[in-house]
Amino acid sequence: MTTPRRLATAHDREILRLAVPAFGALVAEPLFLLSDSAIVGHLGTAPLGGLGVAGQALSTLVYLCVFLAYGTTAGVARQIGAGDLRAAIRQGIDGMWLALAIGAVLVAAGWPLVPGIVDAFGASPAVAPYAETYLRVSLFGIPSMLVVLAGTGVLRGLQDTRTPLAVSLGGFSANLLLNAVFVLALGWGIAGSAWGTVLAQTGSAAVYAVVVLRAARRHGAPVRPDVAGLRASATAGFGLLVRTAALRIVLIVGTSIAARMGDPEIAAYQVGFQVWTLLAFALDAIAIAGQAITGRYLGASDVSGTRAVTRRMVGWGIGCGVAFGLIILVVRPWLPALFTSDGDVRRLLFASLLLVAVLQPVAGVVFVLDGILIGAGDGPYLAVTTLIATVVFLPAAIVLYRADAGLTGLWVAIGLWMLTRMFTLGLRARGDRWMVTGAGR
């Protein structure tokens, strides 16, 4: 008979097996633009600014399509739990075809809109031409970027997070090499940087296609587009699209409010938010494990196992959140000096880091429960509750801004946003309605 301690240890091993490689892949992804920035920076300030504007536009488009990874993970994991590997591969292929279709639409729709997009991001006359060049070239890489998202979702659903890590590291290395050759050796300027990233992403997408096609051949899964499957994938992803858009609104509004406070405030906010983002990668890795594990357990109709592993993952989220909060408090007296010599920015960042630290245990619960409910295919509930949390954040942030609460007030509004999400997600997790069992939801 399996003892509770042995069962918990088994859950811990499973969580770590999926979460550790997922964390590596999450950290590797931002290195694409970081390597671009390091190389384009040698071209001058205006090209670097153009990269920043175009990079924000691209990241917004791709971020909104992250449902291709999350929805595919949940669907494939359910089929794995139900013991139907052929259907799991078939569902993953549907997700990749959907990614190609969305990518093609974005390329066609985005091409004539490039000048307007660049202008909407506030590019100056000196920066705008570089931003437009980078964005026009990079549009050709969007289908590959979305296939990478869907391919990542397939492998995560198959309980494999090591291959996505290897592909991410390979893509980063190729991106760095191609950028160095095209920009520094061949002198193609910012267009060379964009083409390097497009080719690196295309190579990564090709790797995922080969891996999935081999699995399809091995298990006899059809690979042609299936209209019903595409429709099902799109329908399942709509709730996650709304959820992601609501999250993006909070990030954009937060940055906009900090920018209106003044230069020291926006500088301190950006550094504080980068610290938050780094820690979020670790918490999101547990959430990704939650997506894969929850989907598999529910697909196997194992309600008690789902409940047990949910408790364990929430425990991991709280534990990691507490640890991260304590680490921030320990390094807080010295951390601001690593980023700036400006006394005002240091003071503001020192105060912000206290709230960032306090919110980490809350973030641990929110990230993990979000991942678990994504794995359960509970997209409509996530859409509604994330919108509710955003509605709580917006007036709070505006009121505190007008009350001259400063950067501390903005972080308090973010705290209210996170607490609202924790309450609504926790309320759902305590019940049973989200635990729909079987191969399909």
**Rounded-to-integer distance, Cα 288 and Cα 194, Å:** 29
Among the residue ranges 128-132, 321-325, 338-342, 412-416, the one predicted with the least confidence is: 338-342
- The pLDDT tens digits of the residues spanning 71-105 come to 889 889 999 998 999 999 998 999 999 999 999 99
Task: Check: CB of residue 7 under 8 Å from CB of residue 308.
Answer: yes
Q: What is the 3-state secondary structure (H, E, C) of 404-438?
A: CCHHHHHHHHHHHHHHHHHHHHHHHHHCCCCCCCC
**Rounded-to-integer distance, Cα 64 and Cα 4, Å:** 40
**Rounded-to-integer distance, Cα 215 and Cα 89, Å:** 7
Task: Check: CB of residue 130 under 8 Å from CB of residue 46.
Answer: yes
- The pLDDT tens digits of the residues spanning 240-267 come to 999 999 998 998 888 888 888 887 887 7
Q: What is the pTM of this model?
A: 0.88
**Rounded-to-integer distance, Cα 241 and Cα 69, Å:** 11
What one-character DSSP code corresponds to residue 262? Answer: -
Task: Check: CB of residue 205 under 8 Å from CB of residue 149.
Answer: no
- The pLDDT tens digits of the residues spanning 41-63 come to 778 878 877 877 788 788 888 88
CA torsion, points 145, 150, 152, 155, in degrees to nearest 10?
Answer: -150
Kindly tell me if the per-residue pLDDT of 439 is higher than 70. yes
pLDDT value, residue 247: 92
Angle subtended by helix axes 406-430 and 227-261, to nearest 10: 150
What are phi and psi for residue 349, nearest 5 degrees?
A: -70, -40
Residue 31, by phi and psi: left (phi above 0), alpha (psi -120 to 50) or beta? alpha
pLDDT value, residue 15: 85
Kindly tell me if the per-residue pLDDT of 2 is higher than 60. no
Query: Helices marked H in 184-302 — which ranges?
Result: 189-219, 227-261, 263-299
Using CA atoms, how far residue 238 sits from 375, 379, 380, 388, in Å, is 15, 8, 8, 17
Structure-token pair, residue 356: 């960032």
pLDDT value, residue 32: 62
**Average pLDDT along the chain:** 88
pLDDT value, residue 1: 46
Structure-token pair, residue 2: 């399996």
- The pLDDT tens digits of the residues spanning 379-423 come to 999 999 999 999 999 999 999 999 999 999 999 999 999 999 999
**Rounded-to-integer distance, Cα 413 and Cα 417, Å:** 6
83 Cβ neighbours under 8 A, 6+ residues apart: 300
- The pLDDT tens digits of the residues spanning 190-247 come to 999 999 999 999 999 999 999 999 999 998 988 888 888 788 788 878 899 999 999 9
Using CA atoms, how far residue 388 sits from 238, 240, 368, in Å, is 17, 14, 19
What one-character DSSP code corresponds to residue 43? Answer: G
Using CB atoms within 10 A of its CB, is residue 144 exposed (0-12), middle (13-18) or buried (19+)?
buried
- How many other CB atoms are there within 10 angstroms of residue 123's CB atom? 23
Structure-token pair, residue 80: 């794995």
Using CA atoms, how far residue 131 sits from 56, 107, 111, 122, 134, in Å, is 10, 16, 13, 11, 5
**Rounded-to-integer distance, Cα 319 and Cα 316, Å:** 5
Task: Check: CB of residue 141 under 8 Å from CB of residue 59.
Answer: no
- The pLDDT tens digits of the residues spanning 133-189 come to 999 999 999 999 999 999 999 999 999 999 999 998 898 889 889 999 999 899 999
**Rounded-to-integer distance, Cα 296 and Cα 437, Å:** 10
Task: Check: CB of residue 196 under 8 Å from CB of residue 333.
Answer: no
